[in-house]
Structure 1
Amino acid sequence: MSDTTTGVIPRLDLRGRRLGLRELRAALPRAAFDVEAALAAVRPIVDDVRERGATALYEAAERFDGIRPPALRVPADVIGDALSTLDPEVRVALEESIRRARLVHADQRRTDSTTTVVDGGTVTERWVPVDRVGLYVPGGLAVYPSSVVMNVVPAQLADVPSLAVASPPQRDHGGWPHPTILAACALLGVDEVWAMGGAQAVAAFALGVDDGDDTCDPVSLVTGPGNIYVAAAKRLLKGVIGIDAEAGPTEIAVLADGSADAEHVASDLVSQAEHDPLAAAVLVTDSADLADAVEDALVRRVAATKHTERVATALAGTQSAIVLVDDLDAGLDLVNAYAAEHLEIQTRDAAAVAARVRNAGAVFVGPWSPVSLGDYCAGSNHVLPTGGCACHSSGLSVQSFLRGIHVVTYSEDALRDVGGHVVTLARAEDLPAHGEAVLARHPEVDPRG
């Protein structure tokens, strides 16, 4: 990696080099996010919640959030007041975000299917929602009412019968979660909200907790983004609960050619870099002229943006880079190896290029589909896999809250017809009692007579 013209973002020149998948993954920038190392800090927090319940949660709030909430469960009147005092423009924008998210996620509903294997023998796949979910909404460097929308809408459309939201208590708001988050819950009809943050919130969801007359029952699944300690708690408690993913710092990758508008590209890189100093911003291009123009635009935009220091740190970090490649084919190989959380395609014939993308949390096609649209109002979900996990995992959807259950129904004759094969396979695996369960019903199907 060599110095860039401006020094605002590293540059990696892969031109003239055809790398295999392993080499590409090793060469690409990635945020340092060691969940395993965080487990040592998280384990005693989880154990404390297990042993001392609400007392541990209050003490954790004072330690990590700087305030003790008046209660763990947010009262209905506090949620209602948050909605009544919400900026009208923010309310309209949230309502539109909810409307669009419901449109998209409604089409993700699954229907039961029944397959007739033989006459008298069927297998039905039933789609059943989890019983209860805990939805985590961060409250650190920024306020994320949009994450309320992205978590709650698919859970509701999956018909989850019980859901609860947790968000950290805020010193500036009397120890309650941020009022915009509470207002978003009110708009969605969510009345169970808990003033809990970090690893301790995940532990409370997984284990359950009593706080006076209020009880947070254990959940089956925890979803939603968070910091490294939230991710570590998810890993520690996976198995006790299901999880969506171990979300790391946000990522944007842009695959662009010489036709792209440098100002568009630079503004999109900055938009994700403002999330976190560890946020990753990667431009992949076959145009050195575009690379230079984007760097020049970044210098201006970083200096002018509100969170200058945060953005500058993210762009200058080892997780961010402008990567030069020979052509779009090489660029596609690279972005498929990177498997970004968010991938923009800003090229000629962008739709055709996007159709060749195999690994990404979400793909944004063309100059008028910035990632920030997906963060709020595209209708897509912004809870997406990070850290390269998009090569095997999907973003949050209605499917995330459903389980497929096979229901097997065979008649007497249908079992008789296939019973001999069951007995044969059971004996081949040295599990004869499996076959005997069939022979108890149909002794005449014994292949050995």
Structure 2
Amino acid sequence: MHYQTGLEFAQQMDCDDPLARFREQFSIPRTSDGSEEIYLCGNSLGLQPKLAREYVVQELDKWASLGVKGHFDCEYPWMPYHEFLAETAADLVGAHTDEVVMMNSLTVNLHLMMVSFYRPSETRYKIVIEDHAFPSDHYAVESQLRHHGIDPADGLVLLKPRENEELLRQEDIEALIEEQGDSIALILLPGVQYYTGQVLDFAAITGAAQARGIKVGFDLAHAVGNIPLKLHEWNVDFACWCTYKYLNSGPGSVAGCFVHRRHARDTSLDRFAGWWGHDKDTRFRMENRFVPMPTAEGWQLSNPPILSLAAIRASYDVFRQAGGMQPLRKKSEKLTGYLRYLLEAEVSEFIRVITPENADEHGCQLSLCCDARHLTGRELFGRLEAAGITADWREPNVIRIAPVPLYNSFTDVYNFVQILKSACNE
């Protein structure tokens, strides 16, 4: 696409944008003078859909008027409430409805999945993650190794970029699998790397690993609602994600989990069990023999928090109204392409983009490094905040910028770059 630098171009792009109307469905934070912030931080916390307040209040009113009867005969009863989310969740990750469930939090779900899919033996016991994994994932994996009596110094394999490079190379991942495949039990990688914004090749990694008998899982915290996914088709063993970033369901909201159908139907798989994973037809017989459901629901532990699920349902309704991931991804590619174009045109002497340029290798986020000699990246970030920009700083030297297609505009991107340019030139 041919971009232009002037404000008129951005405004025309917004006029021609079929998704522009969805901005009005979100609450945009305001600065101290009452004007709207330029909010480019959906990769950390998505904005609140206005429907969320409506849906949560409905459940509060139901609780007030019905009490315990809210579990049963009413609109959206609480007992099966998580099931109302399955269809959209499956669409967002490219799965069947029996392969997904909304439950717990992201790291809890990663632990539950590793209980079932990390089964170390004397010779096959290593776990592969990336060297710059999100700290919570690193902690979880190390604790799983120790739980099995394995020293992380021996059992943890870290994928690293080559010297003086920022990104992982597919050929290096496949070479590691080929060299150490017989000793690797599990590969756990991000769908979108949180620091660089790099999207990995799900299908190629999964195929190469499974050919060597390795289980494959993905942390999709920065991928779901951001890029198109085909977890079932790619044959991924399991995946977990949070819902408060691109899925806009509120801070600490209930997470999601995918278990491929071939595993979900295997009720003999070891797992940590809870009564909400028990066969729903016999659950209330109160018998002490666990009978797991032959779906992803079989990994549930407890009945989920309804108020959080109501906010997720509101978000999912907005995604459905927007037509799902295809039109959102189309706009996202234009937004990030426009952002990169303006950065190169206006501030290339100060700013270096470390996110891959190929559209297939990134989502909404561009990760910016400040190379200005007269100020640090942290100082630049402070200037942006003072000017009404909400972005995200990550140590040691990245400002993460994520124009989200549901609520960010091309004018947002234009104004951000003008403020960035001014901040760099101060």
Which TM-score band (shorter chain)?
A: under 0.3
Give the TM-score, by structure 2 length: 0.27
Give the TM-score, by structure 1 length: 0.26
Q: Name the structure where strand makes up a greater proportion of residues.
A: 1
Q: Which has the larger radius of gyration?
A: 1
